[in-house]
Structure 1
Amino acid sequence: MVVDAQLGSYGDLLFGSALAVYVLAMILHAVEHALLRNTAPVAEAARVPVPVGGGTDDATGTATGDGRPGRSRAERFGRTGVSLTVLGFALHLAMLVVRGLAAERVPWGNMYEFTAAICLVAVGAWLVVLRRRPELRRLGAFVLLPVIVLMFLAGTVLYTQTAPVVPALRSYWLAIHVTAAVIASGILLLAGVASVLYLFRAAHAANPARFAWTERLPGADALDRTAYRATAIAFPIWTFAVITGAIWAEAAWGRYWGWDPKETTAFIAWIVYACYLHARSTAGWRGWRATTINVVGFAVMVFNLFFVNIVVTGLHSYAGLPG
């Protein structure tokens, strides 16, 4: 297998460009969040008559010079942030495509690529949600923050030059099992962010002064629905990933299950998310109690992604980390 090092360097450049664009998009979303006001004052301002030929230029103004509804400064920052997120997604996708072409394989054969692919799915899932629910744009900064952190770690601590995968990964199951794990993990990242924000929203009821910033977030019901629907979509994909991983293990190591740390943690995550979906569908466990389970599942996924892959020794400890 021949590796095109020059093409691989272009992929690294695209990765850095995507990360820079995501950072700028997060900043614009943060500015939007800072400019937002409570919905009550906004609704009140919307009822104030606008003089003919006049306009507004504050954070929540909604009139143009000809009296028609216009976009506030917050909305303009938010829309620009979304546009930059789309640009970053395109650069991000191009990075993985170029990386795959350079190595002549699927571009998630090591921790650097695997983490980058998860972040790509998370951003893609966010853009799909945003297209269906534009009012959730206020979550933009909070969704992009973990993506940026993960990509920064991938580009520094986990970075690996373009190279063929180790012999144990030279199987068609890499394109099946790992792809399913990437898709599920990316969608669950979005669900985890929504669940964490839901808990902050719930904490606001007990301590309004300390958590006043959550008033600018979408309502608790919207956050709960987002987390639930994302988890409901990701869970069967994660189930498929666990099953195909067992089949691959039998082909590679002669057993379906050996309680390897990676296998065990993946199964624990599956159990936690199954408990969440069951609790969420039970009337008595809706709200913060069910959401807490989802946050625990998200924590297990992060633990599985980093600690198990990097620190714990097991059969899956060939993540391609630099020596």
Structure 2
Amino acid sequence: VIEAPRKPWSERLGNMAFALLIVGVGLQIASIVLRGFATDRFPLGNMYEFVTMATAAAMLIGLVLLRKQSYRSLWVFVLVVVIPLMFMAATVLYADAAPVVPALRSFWLPIHVTIVATGSGIFLVSGVASLLFLLRIRQPKGEETSGFWGKVAERLPDAQTLDRLAYKTTIIAFPLFGAGVILGAIWAEAAWGRFWGWDPKETVSFIAWVIYAAYLHARATSGWRDTRAAWINIAGFVAMLFNLFIINMVVSGLHSYAGLN
């Protein structure tokens, strides 16, 4: 009887870590469902719930797109962003289970906010992919590596693969986020009597959407599709984070429903 060759320890540990990721994502989704039961409403009424939903979306899209063995190393960098966001949600942003303010008691809440949170989570993966693309393109395969970042880049997929991943995830997230903005405008007309009022949240969301539109255009334009397009994508990711934290926590407006004391 010929025994099958044993897998190397690195691959076995990677498979165990991937299985653990699946369990973690399942528990995260379960926490969202249980939060809904605890509040007797759709669990998207404050920043804690929004960040939880967005990170869950990022992890789910990661499980779909990063399931190949060659992509496993990217999980480290996705988790470098996701884990601090989850920690912040559970500590700084945490809000007790409670009813939402009257303005949010609408059937538009699960529709509008779920779409925006999902798009934001997928944009997270896209932003990480573009950051790694810029790191990888400075250290092409086959060249001798030196220093910490050179060793990190050596373990990443090639630059073209990272660029395609960033583009693919943006292609998914861009129409989702755009639909969320449009549905938000329809809800605003029903709630406040106008489709658009240049509220800080509306304005920065629109700016972020325009930046991602510019990225998709640059990605298809000769001379822009490499590092320039990646920097535009990262600018969109920074705009999303600014919209999530600075606008919600510092700037007051009609969308000030962070749920923070």
TM-score normalized by the length of structure 1:
0.77
1:209 corresponds, among 143, 146, 159, to 146
User: Counterparts of 1:175 and 1:207 in 2: how far apart (Å)?
Assistant: 51
Q: CA deviation at 1:73?
A: 1.5
User: Counterparts of 2:223 and 2:138 in 1: how far apart (Å)?
Assistant: 19
User: Is 2:63 the partner of 1:127?
Assistant: yes
2:18 corresponds, among 82, 100, 107, to 82
Listed as ranges, the matches of 1:1-323 within 5 Å are 68-131=4-67, 133-204=68-139, 208-210=145-147, 211-212=149-150, 213-321=152-260, 323=261
User: Counterparts of 1:231 and 1:207 in 2: how far apart (Å)?
Assistant: 32
User: Counterparts of 1:192 and 1:251 in 2: how far apart (Å)?
Assistant: 34
User: Counterparts of 1:86 and 1:292 in 2: how far apart (Å)?
Assistant: 31
User: Counterparts of 1:106 and 1:277 in 2: how far apart (Å)?
Assistant: 33
Q: CA deviation at 1:209?
A: 2.3
Q: CA deviation at 1:224?
A: 0.5
State the percentage of identical aligned residues.
54
Larger relative contact order (CA 8 Å, sep ≥ 6): 2
User: Counterparts of 1:293 and 1:71 in 2: how far apart (Å)?
Assistant: 41
Which amino acid in the other structure matches residue 272 of structure 1? I
User: Counterparts of 1:279 and 1:67 in 2: how far apart (Å)?
Assistant: 52
Which amino acid in the other structure matches residue 8 of structure 2? S
User: Counterparts of 1:130 and 1:227 in 2: how far apart (Å)?
Assistant: 12
Q: CA deviation at 1:203?
A: 2.6
Q: CA deviation at 1:105?
A: 1.1
Q: CA deviation at 1:187?
A: 0.7
User: Counterparts of 1:306 and 1:280 in 2: how far apart (Å)?
Assistant: 28
Cα deviation per residue 1:22-58 (whole Å; 9 max; x = unaligned)? xxxxxxxxxxxxxxxxxxxxxxxxxxxxxxx9xxxxx
Which stretch of the first structure deviates more once superposed, 290-299 or 73-82? 73-82
User: Counterparts of 1:208 and 1:261 in 2: how far apart (Å)?
Assistant: 45
Give the structure with higher Rg (CA). 1
Q: CA deviation at 1:134?
A: 3.1
Which amino acid in the other structure matches residue 9 of structure 2? R
Q: CA deviation at 1:318?
A: 1.9
**Structure 2 runs not aligned, ≥5 long:** none
Q: CA deviation at 1:207?
A: 9.8
User: Counterparts of 1:303 and 1:207 in 2: how far apart (Å)?
Assistant: 38
Which amino acid in the other structure matches residue 138 of structure 1? S
Residue of structure 2 equivalent to 1:56: none
User: Counterparts of 2:86 and 2:32 in 1: how far apart (Å)?
Assistant: 13
Cα deviation per residue 1:55-106 (whole Å; 9 max; x = unaligned)? xxxxxxxxxxx57443211111211111110000111011000110111111
Cα distance, 1:69–1:284 mapped onto 2, change above 3 Å: farther
Cα distance, 1:104–1:266 mapped onto 2, change above 3 Å: same
Cα root mean square deviation, aligned: 1.6
Which amino acid in the other structure matches residue 79 of structure 2? L
TM-score normalized by the length of structure 2:
0.94
Cα deviation per residue 1:165-208 (whole Å; 9 max; x = unaligned)? 11110111101110110110111111111111111112335994
User: Counterparts of 1:134 and 1:179 in 2: how far apart (Å)?
Assistant: 30
